[in-house]
Amino acid sequence: MFQKEEFNKMIFSRINQLIDDYKLVKENEKIAVALSGGKDSILTLHALKAYQNQANFDFELVAISVNEGIANYRQQGVNSAVNNARICDVPIILKSFKEEENIELDDIYPYFKSACIPCGVFRRNILNKTAYEIGADKIATGHNLDDEIQSFLMSFSRGDTVKFSKFGPELDRIHEKLVPRIKPLWNTPEADVKKWAVINNIDIHIAECPYSNLSLRAKIKHFLNETEAKHPGTKENVMNSFKEILDVPQIRTVLNECEICGEPTSGKICKTCEIRSIISENTKN
């Protein structure tokens, strides 16, 4: 019991410290938590609720859960999201690819190199549009320290240095319609998130997405975990290198509005409309 209390104190203090250091949450803001039902988003919700209970200023929390349409997988996540939102007394908005795009991920993923491409693009679009519509000031995501390192290495391996501007615990508002992101678990290792969920017997969705092993992220995650096991400290070294890069002036992306749907985009047509057009080409007739 002592160990559990000590651990909870440690993990919540580190998250609170990050929120304070980077002023991730400010007075009277509305924070939308992207709640998949997995361990990271569930900890993000509980941590923000605990922060709200002890903060000496008011802010609002709301959760948004998106069902992508992955059979025998996503509904369990949505159930955990709904249950934890109830436990934390936070209202939850349920969205789905079916309702918003009239597709299920299971039906359209073969048209893409990886299911994660349409999945990520539609999910980000739905989360952002929903958060914008309800007047949220920020979207809190469950990105932990391991996710951040993986994203960093993915951008390196793709030569996509513009993405470096997306690293860090808080992203600036770069377009009126793009709700900025905060990452309260930015410096929390994945192993700690797992431990928190296990020792507190939290209702989380544990299963792996059936498409996850096909992604570049999964390969980099596997490589990092293997390297860390053989050379402890590797993840910390990557993170420290990354923090040094963060001190370099950020590369700013100027955003336009998509010529088709009006959503923010760095090009003329947004990724969501590109994906919609690929699906439409493949489902003609």
- What are the residues binding ligand SF4 (CB under 6 A)? 68, 115-116, 119-120, 209, 211-212, 215
Q: Closer to ligand SF4 by CB, 122 or 152: give it.
A: 122
Centre a 10 Å sphere on the Cβ of residue 38 and count the other Cβ atoms it contains.
20
Give 216 or 269: the residue with its C-beta nearer to ligand SF4: 216
Alpha-carbon dihedral sign for residues 10, 11, 16, 17: positive
Mark 127-149 as b/e (b = at least 16 C-beta within 10 Å): bbbbbbeeebbbbbbbbbbbbbb
* 68 vs 228, beta carbon nearer ligand SF4: 68
Smallest separation, CB 112 to ligand SF4 (Å): 10
Q: How far is the CB of 48 from ligand SF4 (least distance, A)?
A: 22
How far is 257 from 196, CA to CA, in rounded Å? 41
Of the pair 120, 180, the CB lying nearest ligand SF4 is at: 120
Q: What is the C-alpha to C-alpha distance for residues 108 and 284, in angstroms, rounded to an integer? A: 13
- Torsion-angle region of residue 177: left (phi > 0), alpha (psi -120 to 50) or beta? alpha
DSSP H or E stretch at residue 88: none
Rounded CA gap, 218 and 149, in Å? Answer: 12
Q: Which is nearer to ligand SF4, 215 or 272 (CB)?
A: 215
Q: By C-beta, is 19 or 37 nearer to ligand SF4?
A: 37
Number of helical H runs and strand E runs in the chain: 11, 7
Helix (H, G, I), strand (E, B) or coil at 29: coil
Q: Min. distance of Cβ 7 from ligand SF4 in angstroms?
A: 28
Other beta carbons within 10 Å of 13: 10
Name the minimum Å distance from CB 215 to ligand SF4.
Answer: 6
What is the chain's length? 285
User: 56: how many CB neighbours lie within 10 A of its CB?
Assistant: 5
Least distance in angstroms from the C-beta of 278 to ligand SF4 = 16
Q: Looking at beta carbons only, is 84 or 215 nearer to ligand SF4?
A: 215
**262-269: long-range contacts, CB 8 A cutoff, minimum separation 24:** 262/177, 263/125, 263/128, 263/129, 263/177, 264/174, 264/175, 264/177, 264/178
Q: Nearer to ligand SF4 by C-beta: 67 or 130? A: 67
Task: Find the shortest distance in angstroms from Cβ 115 to ligand SF4.
Answer: 4
CB of 14 to ligand SF4, least distance (A): 26
**Nearest approach, Cβ of 243 to ligand SF4 (angstroms)?**
26
